[in-house]
Amino acid sequence: MDKIKGSNKKLTYEELLAENIQLKNEIKKIHANTPNIIWKWEIDKGIDFKNAYISEGVDDFLALPKGSIGNSMITYFSYILPEYLPKIYELIDYCTENTNKSISIEYEVKKADEKLAWFSSTGRVIKENDKLTIYGTTIDITEKKKYEQKLKQSDRVFNLSLDMFCIAGFDGYFKYLNPAWEKTLGWPVEELLSKPWLDFVYPDDIERTENIKSVIVDGKEIYQFENRYICKDGSIKWLSWNSQPFPKENIMIGAVRDITETKNIEKELLKAKEKAEESKANIKAIIEGTKNSIWAFDADYKILYINHIFQKDFLQSFGVLLEPGVSLVEALPKPLKPLWKSRYDRVLANEQFTIEDAVPTNIGTIYIEISFNPIVKNGKVIGGSCLGSDITIRKNEEKELLKAKEKAEESDRLKSAFLSNMSHEIRTPMNGILGFTSLLQEVNLSTENQKKYINIIEKSGKRLLNTVNDIIEISKIESGEIKITTSKVDVINYLDTLVTFFRQEAKKKHLQIIVQNCIDGNDLYIQTDKNKLDSILSNLIKNAIKYTNQGTIKVGFSIASDNFIFSCQDTGIGISKNRQEAIFNRFEQADIEDKLAKQGSGLGLAIVKSYVEMLHGKIWVESEENQGSSFYVSLPYLQAKQKENNSSKKIPLCHTEIKNINVLIVEDDETSLLYLTSIIGDKFNNIEVAKNGIEAIEMCKNNSDINCILMDIRMPGIDGYETTKRIRKFNNDIVIIAQTAYALEGDKEKALNVGCNDYISKPIKKDKLFEIINKYF
Position with higher pLDDT, 762 vs 246: 246
Mean pLDDT of the chain: 83
Reported as type and span, the H/E element at residue 31 is helix 13-33
Residues 212 and 239 in one domain: yes
CATH number at residue 710: 3.40.50.2300
Query: What is the pLDDT, as a whole number, of residue 234?
Result: 94
Q: Is-cis flag, bond preceding 763, omega within 30? A: yes
pLDDT at 598 over 60: no
The domain in which residue 680 lies consists of 653-774
Are residues 157 and 176 in contact, defined by beta-carbon separation less than 8 angstroms? no
Q: Which helix (H) or strand (E) holds 132?
A: strand 131-140
Contact 553, 618 (CB under 8 A): no
Whether 490 and 524 have beta carbons less than 8 Å apart is answered as yes
Quick one: 321 and 359 in the same domain? yes
The more confidently predicted of residues 371 and 94 is 371
Q: How confident is the model at residue 688 (pLDDT cuts 50, 70, 90)?
A: very high
Task: Note whether 311 and 176 are same-domain residues.
Answer: no
Count of beta carbons in the 10 Å neighbourhood of residue 95: 19
Of 223-237, 365-379, 669-683, where does mean pLDDT reach its minimum?
669-683
Please tell me whether residues 321 and 360 are part of one structural domain: yes
Query: What total of structural domains would you count in the chain?
Result: 5
CB neighbour class for 521 (10 Å; exposed up to 12, middle 13-18, buried from 19) = exposed
Of 2-11, 491-500, 725-734, the least confident? 2-11
Sign of CA dihedral 689, 692, 695, 696: positive
Handedness of CA 330, 336, 341, 344 (dihedral sign): negative
Residue 20 φ/ψ, nearest 5 degrees? -65, -40
The answer to whether residues 631 and 684 belong to one domain is no
Whether 49 has a pLDDT exceeding 80, the answer reads no
Please identify, among 116, 144, 172, the residue that sits at the C-terminal boundary of a domain. Answer: 144
Gap between the Cα atoms of 365 and 345, Å rounded = 28
Beta strand 735-740 pairing with 758-761 = parallel
d(CA 565, CA 637): 9
**pLDDT tens figures, 194-231:** 999 999 999 999 999 999 999 999 989 988 899 999 99
Calculate mean pLDDT across residues 253-266.
90
Same domain, 624 and 729: no
Same domain, 617 and 501: yes
Smallest CA-to-CA distance from 551 within 439, 454, 459, 626 is with 626
Does 1 fall in a domain?
Answer: no
Do 539 and 500 belong to one domain?
yes
Closest by alpha carbon to 474, among 381, 368, 366, 588? 588
The CA-CA-CA angle for residues 299, 303, 307, to 5°, reads 140
The bridge status of strand 708-712 relative to strand 662-666 is: parallel
Position 417 in a domain = no
Residues 251 and 177 in one domain: yes
- Residue 737 β-bridge partners: 710, 758
In angstroms, how far is the first alpha carbon of the chain from the final one? 171
CB 222, CB 243: distance < 8 Å: yes
Burial class (CB within 10 angstroms; exposed 0-12, middle 13-18, buried 19+) of 369? middle
Q: How far is CA 503 from the centre of its chain?
A: 68
Between CA 508 and CA 473 the distance in angstroms is 28
pLDDT cut 90: percent of the chain above it: 34
Tell me: pLDDT of 398 over 70: yes
Judge contact between 107 and 84, C-beta under 8 A.
yes
Do 140 and 175 belong to one domain?
no
Q: How far apart are CA 222 and CA 60, in angstroms?
A: 49
Structural domain contains residue 454? no
Q: How far apart are CA 685 and CA 736, in angstroms?
A: 17
User: Which pLDDT score is estimated for 2?
Assistant: 45
Q: Is residue 301 left, alpha or beta, with left meaning phi > 0 and alpha meaning psi from -120 to 50? A: left
Of 81, 112, 144, the last residue of a domain is 144
Helices (H), 290-391: 308-318, 337-348
CATH code of residue 605? 3.30.565.10
The domain boundary residue, chosen from 144, 173, 202: 144
Cβ atoms of 711 and 719 closer than 8 Å: no
CATH code where residue 378 lies: 3.30.450.20
For 411, half-sphere exposure in the C-beta direction (CA atoms, 13 angstrom radius) is: 8
Higher pLDDT, 34 or 149: 149
Q: Residue 70 falls within a domain, yes or no?
A: yes
Which of 16-20, 203-207, 357-361, 670-674 is predicted with the least confidence, judged by mean pLDDT? 16-20
In a domain, 23, yes or no: no
The confidence band for 732, taking pLDDT boundaries of 50, 70 and 90, is very high
Q: Considering only CA atoms, which of 694, 697, 773, 687 is closest in space to residue 728?
A: 697
pLDDT of res. 29: 55
Is the per-residue pLDDT at 26 higher than 70?
Answer: no
Residue 431 lies in a domain: no
Task: Tell which residue, 165, 167, 145, has the closest CA to residue 156.
Answer: 165
pLDDT of residue 363: 67
Residue 586 has pLDDT above 80, yes or no: no
The reported pLDDT for the residue numbered 649 is 44
Res 3 pLDDT > 50: no
The residue among 741 and 52 whose pLDDT is bigger is 52
Asked whether 137 and 39 are in contact (CB, 8 A), the reply is yes
Q: What is the mean pLDDT of residues 519-548?
A: 85
Beta bridge partners of 354: 371
Assess contact for 695 and 689: CB atoms under 8 A: no
* Total residue count of the chain as it appears in this document: 777
Is 730 a residue whose pLDDT tops 60? yes
Q: Helix, strand, coil shares of the chain as percentages rounded to 5? A: 45, 25, 30
Cβ-contact 203, 233 below 8 angstroms: no
- 741 and 621 in a common domain: no
* Of 335 and 602, more confident: 335
Euclidean distance between CA atoms 165 and 151, whole angstroms: 14
Asked whether residue 86 falls in the same domain as residue 139, the answer is yes
Q: What is the pLDDT of residue 666?
A: 94
pLDDT of 436 reads 81
Check residue 202 and give its pLDDT. 96
Confidence of residue 51 (pLDDT cuts 50, 70, 90): confident
CB-based contact 106:91 (threshold 8 Å): no
* 647 is a domain residue: no
